[in-house]
């Protein structure tokens, strides 16, 4: 039986340079080490974001997806949005206008759903072959 897991919303600090990114990563590391972590980073406060900060976000997403979880971004400040666009990373993250929306988006995702959909996708493939 699949039970709902908590969605953790974390507010990202105003400055996300190398030093701050390391500190933030240490803070969220225990959350990333959970089984199937469901994380939302709220970037509404972010005013300065550099390549180290972007790298940290990618690292967190990689770690989350390794454990079958996901990381979503919410309430992006214009500054954060511009830097993510500039580094071509905005397309890698799922972004939401508010943290609540991002948290709600997790409820539609259950790992068992992938297994349920899998036979269907096989059927579609066999139909295509017949066609």
Partner 1 sequence: MDLGFGKSLPKGLVDFTPSASAMRGVRALLLVGGREDTERFAEFPIAMLDVLGRSVMFRMLDRIRAHGISEIAVLSDTAPLQPQPSIDSCAFNVAAPECFWSEALQQFRRLSRHSESVLVVRLGAWAEVNYAEMVREHRQSGSAIMRACSHNSEALDVFVISSSSQTEAAALLRGELRDDRIAVAEHKTHGYVNMLAEASDLRVLTLDAFARNTELRPCGRELRPGVWVGKGARIHRRARIVAPAFIGAGCKVRDASVVTRGSSLEQHSEVDCATMVDNSSVLPYTRIGAGLEVERSVVGFEQVHSLQRDATVKIEDPHMIALTNGRASAQLFTAASWFLNFVPNVFWKLFFEPRTEQMERAESSLLDKHTAIDDAPLAAAESQPKSYREMVVTRRYGNE
> Does residue 108 belong to the site contacting partner 1 (CB under 8 A)?
no
**Going by C-beta distance under 8 Å and a sequence separation of 6 or more, which residues neighbour residue 111?**
2, 36, 68
> Does residue 105 belong to the site contacting partner 1 (CB under 8 A)?
no
Supply the minimum distance, in Å, between the C-beta of residue 9 and partner 1.
Answer: 21
Name the burial class of residue 8, with classes exposed (0-12), middle (13-18) and buried (19+) by CB atoms within 10 angstroms of its CB: middle
> Does residue 82 belong to the site contacting partner 1 (CB under 8 A)?
yes
> Does residue 29 belong to the site contacting partner 1 (CB under 8 A)?
no
> Does residue 65 belong to the site contacting partner 1 (CB under 8 A)?
yes
56-79 core/surface letters (b: 16 or more CB in 10 A; e: else): bbebbbebbeeeebbbbbbbbbeb
Supply the minimum distance, in Å, between the C-beta of residue 68 and partner 1.
Answer: 6
Residues that bind partner 1 (CB under 8 A): 17, 48, 50-52, 55, 58, 61-62, 65-68, 78-79, 81-83, 85-89, 92, 111, 114-115, 118
């Amino acid at each position: 039986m699949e039970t709902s897991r908590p969605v953790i919303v974390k507010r990202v600090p105003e400055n996300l340079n190398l030093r701050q990114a390391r500190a933030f990563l240490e803070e969220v590391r225990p959350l990333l080490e959970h089984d199937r972590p469901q994380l939302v980073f709220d970037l509404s406060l972010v005013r300065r974001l550099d390549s180290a900060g972007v790298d940290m976000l990618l690292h967190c997403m990689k770690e989350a997806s390794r454990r079958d979880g996901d990381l979503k971004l919410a309430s992006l400040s214009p500054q954060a949005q511009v830097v993510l666009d500039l580094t071509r990373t905005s397309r890698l993250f799922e972004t939401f206008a508010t943290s609540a929306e991002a948290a709600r988006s997790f409820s539609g995702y259950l790992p068992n759903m992938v297994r349920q959909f899998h036979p269907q996708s096989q059927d579609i493939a066999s139909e295509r072959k017949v066609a």
